[in-house]
């Protein structure tokens, strides 16, 4: 019998298992915030075995990082693997963005070698930003899904993805048919669903690029394969909403298009959701579906301001390449600003919870990732609080509480502070410094 793989990691442990309630005092860590400085995190066979103050025995290999912040790996709930090449492209709103930038970038992934290189680069960039799990859009090409899952399998990452479905209103090189979509999806499901830490998502690009027949197929395939997911977009842009109204005149709303086809379930994540009404939000609550808030993308494309407070289940996402960074710190800082423009202040603990345990719960993976507790997979990141002589370092000198320090870190920090990242307890060569 082989010996277990072990690692004892020492540092300042922080995880937020529940956001502070209304009116909670922030000066001292409220309930749900676990701040454990100078603790040991014991990892055995890829999972957290214990959290303790006393040093482990000599039989435990040690990685001591005094003063570094040890967090759960970030989780991104909406991001496009092929769009790294078009991030920060100038001057368009959503529908023009798709035609000018997105569709050409995705067409290139018809080449299996391009898809393989792009998938490896994309996942390494996620890790370089401290993100260890993600819900991802590949392209319509079957090979793009194989490439992405293969790269995630090699790295041991928790990844949810699936073939993009588009049978109309897209370039011929990016369209399929309901018949080819069903054939490819069933083959991919058989190969990847439940393999290691991988799961399949029925990936409807958005309602305008799928016929009723294809939407119905996606709903039926989702129902037939328990544990699979749904991912799509909804109500991101007002021109898009109007287009959906014209394409689906019998549906009450954009969201109703998806519900009619069985695509709203607790395993559904719909990106954006800016232009929804009260009845839509009631249907989201009733079905358990999640809205992925993508603040940097919404600001960059001029789509609108999402009101987090109106929704029951919200996750946080970068939406690269519409979003401007894979950094979850930058994404959370933008989420704070979007809320502030609407008269609400999101505290640092709520923001960190969203990117870790909250996102894990939104994907029904809370027993696996997003928390530093025994039994969870050891997906972790180690961070410096600041670089020497930086503006952030200066700000932290005047911070009076953990909350002040964390808020400044989220507002001014980014991937340059990353010092180590582990996937299932194994170090990844993706950290700076």
Q: What is the pLDDT of residues 274-300, one digit of tens each?
A: 999 999 999 999 999 999 999 999 999
For residue 93, pLDDT beyond 70:
yes
Nearest Cα neighbor of 103 from 205, 218, 255 is: 205
**What pLDDT sits at residue 3?**
62
Of 290, 392, 299, nearest in space to 337 by CA: 299
**What is the 3-state secondary structure of the chain?**
CCCCCEEEEEEEEEEECCCCCCCCCCCCCCCCEEEEEEEEEEEECCEEEEEECCCCCCCCCEEEEEEEEEEECEEEEEEEHHHHHHCCCCCCCHHHHHHHHHHHHHHHHHCHHHHHHHHHHHHHHHHHCCEEEEEEECCCCHHHHHHHHHHHHHHCCEEEECCEECCCCCCHHHCCCHHHHHHHHHHHHHHHCCCCCEEEEEEECCHHHCCHHHHHHHHHHHHHCCCCEEEEEECCCHHHHHHHHHHCCCCCCHHHHHHHCCCCCCCEEEEECCCCCHHHHHHHHHHCCEEEECHHHHHHCCCCCCCHHHCCCEEECCCCCCCCCCCHHHHHHHHHHHHHCCCCCCCHHHHHHHHHHHHHHHCCCCCCCCCCCCCCECCEEEECCCCCCCHHHHHHCCCCCHHHHHHHHHHHCCHHHEEEEEECCEECCCCCC
249 has a pLDDT exceeding 70:
yes
**Closest by alpha carbon to 380, among 119, 46, 90, 24?**
46
- The CA angle 105-107-113, to the nearest 5 degrees, is 90
ω before 321 within 30° of 0 (cis)?
yes
Mean per-residue pLDDT of the chain: 96
Residue 433: band (very low, low, confident or very high) from pLDDT cuts 50, 70, 90: very low
pLDDT digit string (tens) for 11-60? 999 999 999 988 889 999 999 999 999 999 999 999 999 999 999 999 99
Ramachandran category for residue 410: left, alpha or beta (phi over 0 → left; psi -120 to 50 → alpha):
alpha
Residue 430 has pLDDT above 80, yes or no: no
CA dist., res. 70 & res. 68, Å (int): 6
Neighbours of 18 (CB within 10 A): 15
Helix axes 112-128, 142-155, angle to 10 degrees: 40
pLDDT confidence band for 192 (50 / 70 / 90): very high
- Rounded alpha-carbon distances, angstroms, from residue 23 to 34, 90, 307, 352, 353: 19, 41, 19, 18, 17
What does the pLDDT look like over 404-429, one tens digit per residue? 999 999 999 999 999 999 999 999 97
Per-residue pLDDT of 348-401, as tens digits, reads 999 999 999 999 999 999 999 999 999 999 999 999 999 999 999 999 999 999
Which whole-number Å values give the CA distances from 378 to 14, 45, 130, 304, 341, in the listed order?
Answer: 14, 9, 13, 37, 37
Nearest CA to 307 among 276, 333, 352, 268?
276
Give the pLDDT mean for 59-77.
97
Give CA–CA dist 268/19, Å, rounded. 22
Query: If we measure between CA atoms, which residue out of 80, 354, 52, 38 comes closest to residue 205?
Result: 80
Could you read off the pLDDT of 357-372 as tens digits, one per residue?
A: 999 999 999 999 999 9
| Residue among 52, 14, 94 at smallest CA distance from 380 | 14
pLDDT band with cut points at 50, 70 and 90 for residue 2: low
Residue 95 confidence class, pLDDT cut points 50, 70, 90? confident
Cα separation, 178 vs 357, whole angstroms: 36
Locate tokens 């961070």: which residue?
383
Task: State the pLDDT at residue 233.
Answer: 98
Task: In whole angstroms, give the CA distance from residue 19 to residue 33.
Answer: 8
432 pLDDT more than 60: no
């Amino acid at each position: 019998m082989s010996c277990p793989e072990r690692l004892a990691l020492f540092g300042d442990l922080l995880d937020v298992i529940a956001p502070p309630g209304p009116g909670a005092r922030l000066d001292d860590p409220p309930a749900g915030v676990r701040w454990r400085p100078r603790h040991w995190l014991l990892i055995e066979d890829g999972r957290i075995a214990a959290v303790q103050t006393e040093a482990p025995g000599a039989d435990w290999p040690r990685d001591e990082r005094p003063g570094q912040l040890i967090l759960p790996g970030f989780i991104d709930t909406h991001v496009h693997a092929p769009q790294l090449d078009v991030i920060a492209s100038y001057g368009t709103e959503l529908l023009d963005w798709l035609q000018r930038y997105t569709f050409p970038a995705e067409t290139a992934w018809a080449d299996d070698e391009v898809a393989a290189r792009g998938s490896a680069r994309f996942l390494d960039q996620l890790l370089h930003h401290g993100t260890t799990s993600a819900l991802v859009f590949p392209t319509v090409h079957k090979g793009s899904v194989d490439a992405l899952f293969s790269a995630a399998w090699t790295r041991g990452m928790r990844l949810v993805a699936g073939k993009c479905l588009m049978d109309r209103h897209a370039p011929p090189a990016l369209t399929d048919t309901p018949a080819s979509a069903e054939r490819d999806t069933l083959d991919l499901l058989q190969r990847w669903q439940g393999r290691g830490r991988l799961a399949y998502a029925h990936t409807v690009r958005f309602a305008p690029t799928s016929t009723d027949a294809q939407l119905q197929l996606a709903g039926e395939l989702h129902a037939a394969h328990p544990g699979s997911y749904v991912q799509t977009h909804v109500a991101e842009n007002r021109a898009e909403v109007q287009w959906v109204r014209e394409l689906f005149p019998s549906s009450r709303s954009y969201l109703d298009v998806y519900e009619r086809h069985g695509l709203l379930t607790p395993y559904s994540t719909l990106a954006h959701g800016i232009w929804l009404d009260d009845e839509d939000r009631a249907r989201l609550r009733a079905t358990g579906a999640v809205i992925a808030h993508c603040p940097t993308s919404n600001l960059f494309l001029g789509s609108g301001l999402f009101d987090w407070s109106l929704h029951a289940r919200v996750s946080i996402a970068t939406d690269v390449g519409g979003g401007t960074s894979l950094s979850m710190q930058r994404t959370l800082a933008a989420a704070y600003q979007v809320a502030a423009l609407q008269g609400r202040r999101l505290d640092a603990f709520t923001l960190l919870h969203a990117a870790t345990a909250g996102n894990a719960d939104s994907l029904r993976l809370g027993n696996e990732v997003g928390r530093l507790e025994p039994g969870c997979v050891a997906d972790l990141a180690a961070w410096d609080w600041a670089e020497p002589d930086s503006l952030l370092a200066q700000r932290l000198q005047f911070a009076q509480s953990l909350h002040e320090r964390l808020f400044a870190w989220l507002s001014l920090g980014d991937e340059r502070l990353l010092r180590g990242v582990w996937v299932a307890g194994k170090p990844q060569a993706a950290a700076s410094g």
